[in-house]
Amino acid sequence: MIERRETRAVFKGRVQVGGGAPVSVQSMTNTHTEDIAATVEQIVELTELGCQIIRVAVPTLDAAKAIGSIRGRIDLPLVADIHFDHRLALESIRHGADGVRINPGNLSSPEAVAEVVRAAKDAGISIRVGVNSGSVRERKGLEVARHDGDLAELMVRSAREHCEMIESLGFRDIVVSLKASDVPTTLAANRAFAEQTDYPLHLGVTEAGTADVGTVKSAVGIGALLAEGIGDTIRVSLTGRPHEEVRVGHAILRALGLERAGIEIVSCPTCGRCEIDLAGLVEQVRDKLPEQADRPLTVAVMGCVVNGPGEAAEADVGIAGGKGVGFLFRDGKKLRKVPEEQLADALVREIEAMSADDEGISR
């Protein structure tokens, strides 16, 4: 239902951001990155909660060097968060980071930025240009920050200048974020930037605060933009452990229908053609299904073979009943004929088999 803004596709490892890819949920570890065991443990926990891209702080060369070991032990694309010293970015890239996040405005010089861009290009990874209201405010002096509109405009101008400079080096794999600590400025900056460019946008509200207030602030800020079609990847910033960030991130996407939760059963309205007990069949299936699917699944339970196969074909898996007999579908293909009384069981077994297949691929 949401018509999403068209953006260029950029990759963080194997995760596509922009270009029509699903909105991804990311988070950032709050461990010392040098503590490889603790960092890996947290990333694994976040992965299980549905985190799709992970960022780690890289304030030291030791942190940058840890990236190689961490990356080998996790399943997520890993982004290095860099401030002030571009050599930390170079070292992170050397150790296998899937992306770097920089704020070109706080690196030492345009030459330093150019060095990072060349390294990212050689490594085939992407760069996030992260502009925060705080850094713009600092650079331009407090007096400009008295009006939200001005601040948003300065953030947009700053981001655009950075992007133009990086593109002038022949580098296009850029994701941009424009984060302010207040929602109206965040909205204004992202709306304006979205109108002017085709860069994928990473959404977030900085300093959103503790879980209670921060959840609302992030849901409002990120949600309002997503509802307007703006945003390609999101990070909810909350004070405390990052786990809640991932949960809230997915809740935002689900609220807007940008992500489906677990198993969704679709079934047709019964009509004169229906020759099976459809309501009973739906109930049987619902009872037998596991609470949580390993991935979002649309399960179709259709009443007849007239519209049923069409609808079932749109779903991931489904059954279409007939006269005492039905068909099992998966990924749009008819698998086999099943007696009516075995339809529910056949469907549930197929769903279980799909989960098992997934595990074989991803673990």
Q: Which residues bind a copy of itself (CB under 8 A)?
A: 1-2, 141-143, 146, 148-149, 182-184, 187-188, 212-213, 215-217, 219-221, 223-224, 226-228, 247-248, 251-252, 254-257, 268-269
- Which of 85, 316 has the CB closer to a copy of itself? 316
- Dig out the tokens for 155 from the structure: 């953030």
C-alpha 19/C-alpha 290 separation (Å) is 33
Residue 18: φ, ψ to 5° = 85, 180
CB of 234 to a copy of itself, least distance (A): 12
Structural contact between residues 327 and 319, judged by C-beta atoms closer than 8 angstroms? yes
- Which of 116, 278 has the CB closer to a copy of itself? 278
- Which of 311, 350 has the CB closer to a copy of itself? 311
CB of 97 to a copy of itself, least distance (A): 31
CB of 145 to a copy of itself, least distance (A): 9
- Which of 119, 278 has the CB closer to a copy of itself? 278
- Which of 211, 354 has the CB closer to a copy of itself? 211
- Which of 255, 353 has the CB closer to a copy of itself? 255
Nearest to 26 by CA among 202, 191, 261, 183: 202
CB of 273 to a copy of itself, least distance (A): 13
CB of 252 to a copy of itself, least distance (A): 6
Question: What type of residue is 97?
Answer: A
CB of 67 to a copy of itself, least distance (A): 32
Using DSSP bridges, classify how beta strands 317-321 and 325-330 pair: parallel, antiparallel or unpaired: antiparallel
What are the angstrom distances between the C-alpha of 69 and each of 52, 96, 258, 288, 351? 19, 9, 34, 42, 36
- Which of 49, 227 has the CB closer to a copy of itself? 227
- The strands making up 325-330's β-sheet, listed across from edge to edge, are 263-267, 297-302, 317-321, 325-330, 333-339
Structural contact between residues 93 and 84, judged by C-beta atoms closer than 8 angstroms? no
**How distant is the alpha carbon of residue 274 from its chain centre?**
40
Rg (CA), the chain: 24
Nearest to 226 by CA among 193, 174, 197, 191: 191
- Which of 107, 248 has the CB closer to a copy of itself? 248
CB of 224 to a copy of itself, least distance (A): 4
Nearest to 164 by CA among 201, 115, 129: 129
C-alpha 319/C-alpha 346 separation (Å) is 9
CB of 107 to a copy of itself, least distance (A): 25
Look-up: residue for tokens 């179709």? Answer: 300
